[in-house]
Amino acid sequence: MHEDNRERARGGRARLREFRKKRHVEIAAVAVVYVLFLVVGLCTQTAATFDAMTVEILGPPDGMQFWSSPIELAAIVRNQKGPLTNASAKITVLSLATGETEELTGAANEQGIVKVLFPAESGEYTWYVATKTEGYPTIVSRSRSFSTRLTLIVDCLRPCSSKYPILLPINAGGYEDLQVMVTDIAGNPVESANVTFYVNSRQVYSTLTNPRGVAKMFWDMRPGKYTWFASACKDGEVGVSHLSTFIV
């Protein structure tokens, strides 16, 4: 009888030692998994932080006032490795006077810099940049502000658009007649004002207004989407037309 009790006691102690051994193994396994989880998470976070994309406005300085137009808006796109040259950007400009917005698009150059020309009429504006490239979410910059004070009025005569692009047929010969009229603040035509035409943020032609204050450019078009405006100056006075978009 006593021998049986001692046998059962030895068996119980053996099972308890086996149980404790398994328990220690399980705890060690859980600890290893937890450590691996922390290491992987830290490595992932480090990689994500290292590859994070940023967009920063370069100019103009916040709050700057201009007496000329168009205004060059510039931003730089980069990650911690350096500039990103394949990023596309959309620049949104809000007119505080009208509440209307204009959107301009551009692409980063080899320095990661995006530049566009904006035909800012007299008024106050705020603007920001949103950029996107493969492998990154859309990144938005902080907003900046500027203002313009112009003394000439440049009205688009043709082809003019408001909020939405207009569709233009290709005329015989493939040329389109771009026209603006320049007047002073009293509404009088301004003769011999120097007018510069811009298409897709590039200066393409300059001419003088006629006695009626009208300037025109005959442009050889190809199928595509275009945005255009014109600036005018004479005797230190400056003006600019609004941005128009058309599709050929």
Which percentage of the chain shows pLDDT scores above 70? 77
Domain 152-247: give its CATH superfamily. Immunoglobulins (2.60.40.10)
| CA-based nearest residue to 193, from 228, 156, 153, 138 | 153
User: How much is the average pLDDT of 109-120?
Assistant: 95
By the 8 A CB rule, do 181 and 212 touch?
Answer: yes
Residue spans of the domains in the chain: they are 1-35, 54-148, 152-247
Position 243 pLDDT exceeds 60 = yes
pLDDT digits (tens, 9 = 90+) for 61-112: 999 999 999 999 999 999 888 999 879 999 999 999 999 999 999 999 999 9
Q: What is the mean pLDDT of the chain?
A: 82
Position 162 pLDDT exceeds 90 = no
Sequence-separated (6 or more) residues with CB below 8 Å from residue 86? 107, 108, 133, 134
Architecture of the domain spanning 54-148? Sandwich (2.60)
- Decide whether 54-148 matches 152-247 in CATH topology: yes
The pLDDT, as a whole number, for residue 20 is 56
Q: How far apart are CA 150 and CA 190, in angstroms?
A: 14
Question: Binning pLDDT at 50, 70 and 90, where does residue 11 land?
Answer: low
Q: How far is CA 16 from CA 22, 204, 206, in A?
A: 10, 90, 96
Position 124 pLDDT exceeds 80 = yes
In this structure, are strands 237-240 and 88-95 parallel, antiparallel, or unpaired? unpaired
Question: Binning pLDDT at 50, 70 and 90, where does residue 224 land?
Answer: confident
pLDDT digits (tens, 9 = 90+) for 50-64: 358 899 999 999 999
The pLDDT, as a whole number, for residue 25 is 46
